[in-house]
Amino acid sequence: MTAAAVAVRGLAHRFSRGNRVTAALDGVDVAVAPGELVSVVGPSGCGKSTLLKVLAGVLVPSAGTARIGGHDVVGRPGRAAYMPQRDLLLPWRRAMENATLGCELDGLPRGQARLLAAPLFERFGLAGFERAWPSELSGGMRQRLALLRTFLLPREAVLLDEPFGALDAITRRQMVDWLQDIWLDDRRASLFVTHDVEEALVLADRVVVLSARPGRVRTVVPVPFPRPRAPELVTDLGFVALRRTVMAALAPYATEEGSSEQGASEEGARGPGVEPMRHDGPMPHDRPMRDDGDRGRGSGDGERGAIDQAGVDRGDGDDGRSGTGGPRRTGVGPDRRG
């Protein structure tokens, strides 16, 4: 069996804030093979973003392992191209400078980063908008720009956290078709978080369904349809049946099913595991943190915080610039585009 490009095992995370503890994830196993796209769906607050933050290396989990390309990424950012749940475009940078931000933070001179980014503006439907400010772009264009910045990073894996969450249904559907094309050119191991079951199925090789908080893997649904997948696929009877399977697993009192892969929880049937707690509104998504409760966006997050390129904050109050790694270019991603 091929070694997983992305793998978490026994992942658990509890957030502590004062005397309030929130169990976000519990015993989650997920693996993504090279060249595979795996969607993650689950109720709001079940830990989807937490999972991606751990893999992005910006959140140190309470327990478990996280690996990308065989490397331990716990507390070590820089192995994945990560698009957080909010697009985090910087309003004071033009579209091109937003696109190149990640590469610049990697240590690439801006001029070189521009040379890499320029051809992608056409591909991402942004040709002619290189000098536009983010405020001059539509919602769909902003999302494409954030995706461009993400795909531009030469990383071994791509992590996308609800990239279309803020868009209307029609734009969203177009973006899914478009993302499929982009991804088919790229084929990097990817984890795609979404609330939209149809979107999850259209894009993925497999759909991981998480339970309500604390998130556990309820089931993993393989999606056998060949690519490219046409928009009409969603009316195919086989597709509709898969959709029903995922919806059933998402139902509040669904129980974990057996699964063909190690991703499914072995804990058997249990209730939804919901603690009486609301989702707390805006979270500090863009800052390395530890499980002792993040302190929100401090001053000085600035540009680095916008795409989680920082070393990990070990809770010592710095701005996230300490820690690991200097510039690294892995040679994957845009370099392979021909």
Under the rule (CB under 5 A), what is the footprint of Mg ion? Answer: 48-49, 85
Closest among 109, 234, 134, 128 to 177, alpha carbons compared: 234
Contact of residue 315 among ligand ATP, Mg ion, none (CB under 5-8 Å per partner type): none
Contact of residue 260 among Mg ion, ligand ATP, none (CB under 5-8 Å per partner type): none
- Binding status of residue 144 toward ligand ATP by CB under 6 A: no
The Cα-based distances of 105 to 80, 94, 159 in angstroms read 14, 16, 18
- CA dist 9 and 78 (Å) reads 20
Query: Minimum Å distance from CB 7 to ligand ATP?
Result: 19
Which single residue is written with the structure tokens 């993040």?
294
Among residues 186, 199, 294, 308, which is the contact residue for ligand ATP, using CB under 6 A?
Answer: 294
Contact of residue 17 among ligand ATP, Mg ion, none (CB under 5-8 Å per partner type): ligand ATP
Per CB under 6 A, which of residues 55..114 are in contact with ligand ATP? 85
- Binding status of residue 280 toward ligand ATP by CB under 6 A: yes
- Binding status of residue 138 toward ligand ATP by CB under 6 A: no
Nearer to Mg ion, 49 or 150 (CB): 49
Query: Minimum Å distance from CB 20 to ligand ATP?
Result: 8
How would you label 277-288 residue by residue, b for 16+ Cβ within 10 Å and e otherwise? eeeeeebebbbb
Kindly state the helix (H) or strand (E) to which residue 34 belongs, with its residue range.
none
Per CB under 6 A, which of residues 205..244 are in contact with ligand ATP? 213
Nearer to Mg ion, 32 or 83 (CB): 83
The answer for 333, left when phi > 0, alpha when psi is -120 to 50, beta otherwise, is left
Sign (positive/negative) of CA torsion 213, 163, 16, 291? positive
- Report the amino acid identity of residue 241: A
The Cα-based distances of 209 to 48, 58, 109, 255, 261 in angstroms read 10, 23, 41, 11, 13
Query: Minimum Å distance from CB 160 to ligand ATP?
Result: 12
Per CB under 6 A, which of residues 14..53 are in contact with ligand ATP? 15, 17, 22, 24, 42, 44-50
Residues that bind ligand ATP (CB under 6 A): 15, 17, 22, 24, 42, 44-50, 85, 213, 277, 279-280, 283-284, 293-294
